[in-house]
A and B are shown apart, each in its own frame.
Chain A
Amino acid sequence: MDPENQDRIKGLVDEYGADDLVVVLGAADLESLEVAAETVTLGDPAYVGPLAGVQLGLPVIHILEEDVKEQVDAGVYDEQVGLLEMTLDVEQVREAARKFPGRE
């Protein structure tokens, strides 16, 4: 996850606290998905961004997970995520999401 985004997430946690925040990922490939999930829970694995050594422990979900999809207006979901959904192996993403830190 690039340092800019890490900084924004860290800023949101500083402002609102970690208790009421959930990170919804939209990353398209599995490796960046895992890295992003790890970054906002255990800290930046690359040790280069503002979250290096910072364990935010935020809950992480993916926009393609069934539970998330159900909560979004179908029209909006289709417009914003429909194309991404078609290009990905959705099952593979859901499987990866089940292994996010804090899910076990």
Chain B
Amino acid sequence: MTGRAAVHSCSLVLAHAPDLVRHGSKPARELAADADGLLASLTKALRSYDDALGYAPHQALIGNLRPEALRDVERPWWGHQTEPRADGPFGVIVDEVELYRRMEAADSFGLFKLDGSPAVDGGLTIEQAGRIAGSMAGAHDLDESLSAPVLLENLACKVTGALALERLLRTTGFPPEDVPYVIGSGEEAVGDRYQRGGGNLAKAIAEQAGCVNASGSDVKAFCCGPVHALVVAASLVAAGVYPNVVVVAGGSLAKLGMKFAGALRHGAPVLEDVLAGFAILVGPPGDGAPELRLDAIGRHRVGSGSAQQAVLEDLVVEPLERLGRGILDVDRYATELHDPEITEPAGAGNVPSRNYRLIGALAVRRGELPRDELDGFERTHGLPGFSPTQGHVASAVPWLPHGLTALRTGEIGSTMLLAKGSLFLGRMTELADGMSILLEPGKE
């Protein structure tokens, strides 16, 4: 037991799923309420696989482009394609045919069928390139938690999580059978009517990726689930419970096409046509792996209130003060990294930019940054948004593989991952949530 933990690798994957966009929560509801030409407009606004590959933010996600380089790519990014590559140093972008194939293979109950026949009895017909590919059946007539739409979401999450885990194991050469524990931090509430959100999709993903000696569990905390999971994983390693832990998450099918109305209104393509997944290998210090500072965890406390300032004080200022540091001592902050080309047409503005201005403003208020340098803070300490709006995925994680490289090469001396979660959406509390962790170069 070293009392320390490091991040050895992180993979990020995308699965292009244009024909599943109509099964996203928002499009499905809109299509049910008004099919009057909407399906045609929606279908027309979907991208080809090549267009999804050539979309610069996706190339940044799999590591063929540095996120900072997006500042030099002309907007709209969807109108200025880059080289369409399916493979990158951090991950892969698979097409819908491959996604479906994996879904069928990963479905242990024979509910997802690629037999070319439409759905019967409450199932969902699954299309591919304008043709019926097959169907997703429900597993129980009266159990909403086992209905076809819910199981489709869960299966998509499992498969994209497994894709990320397989990729991680392949690129690191880490033997699947040596993974002792997997923590799921995706958003799907897997379970039946007696156990909605019963969970442990982690173990299903571990099974799919051949981790025969692994157990697992899920950590759920809305969009900041992954950072909570990373802290738990690092703690388990540091305490010597397991030598390694993998944090994994699959994509959120419910969020496909979530902001499609804004895209259609602005004549933009529907960019929410990809499922994202990631896997992070946490292990002992060594091999130059950047370390997680477990003595500088930031957590939004129940009593802190939900004012922006209070949240940031908890996540940024308080943990840094414990180390005797200030806001400017962190070289790069990774907050919610939502792609602005998805959020702006929907009237939600540029999320990362807003977050960086708030952190910068906090530095000004604390006398750490001159007021006239606030505008430059985003460029010197922040990042452009390049993540699909997959909730948990967008929160800091897309930066992690880039950050690990920058820490290993000495380009930066520290980076903070911070994520916030909208707990209030579940109607059990008015609270938000947040979690942060600092990474530094490995000591050996």
- Decide yes or no: A29 and B349 within 8 Å by CB, A46-B261, A46-B262 being known contacts: yes
| Total number of residue pairs linking A and B with CB closer than 8 Å | 46
Q: For B357, give its contact among A1, A82, A87 (CB under 8 Å).
A: A87
User: A84 to nearest B CB, angstroms?
Assistant: 6
Residue B312 interfacial (CB < 8 Å): yes
Per the bound structure, the CA–CA distance linking A4 and B424 in Å amounts to 12
Residue A71 interfacial (CB < 8 Å): no
- Decide yes or no: A31 and B349 within 8 Å by CB, A46-B262, A79-B307, A84-B308 being known contacts: yes
Residues A60-75 near B (CB distance < 8 A): none
User: B82 to nearest A CB, angstroms?
Assistant: 27
Per the bound structure, the CA–CA distance linking A48 and B259 in Å amounts to 11
Q: B306-322 CB contact bits vs A (8 Å, 1 = yes)? A: 01111010000000000
CB-CB under 8 A from A48, the residues of chain B are 30, 261
Nearest opposing residue in chain B for A28, CB measure: B354
Most buried by B among A46, A48, A83: A83
25 contacts between A and B (CB under 8 A): A1-B347, A28-B354, A31-B347, A31-B349, A32-B347, A32-B348, A32-B349, A46-B265, A79-B307, A79-B309, A80-B307, A82-B309, A83-B307, A83-B308, A83-B309, A83-B358, A83-B361, A84-B308, A84-B358, A86-B364, A86-B374, A87-B354, A87-B357, A87-B358, A87-B374
Residue A90 interfacial (CB < 8 Å): no
Residue A35 interfacial (CB < 8 Å): yes
Q: Are B365 and A82 in contact (CB under 8 A)?
A: yes
CB-CB under 8 A from A1, the residues of chain B are 347
Q: B281-317 CB contact bits vs A (8 Å, 1 = yes)? A: 0000000000000000000000000011110100000
Residues B317-346 near A (CB distance < 8 A): 344
CB-CB under 8 A from A4, the residues of chain B are 425
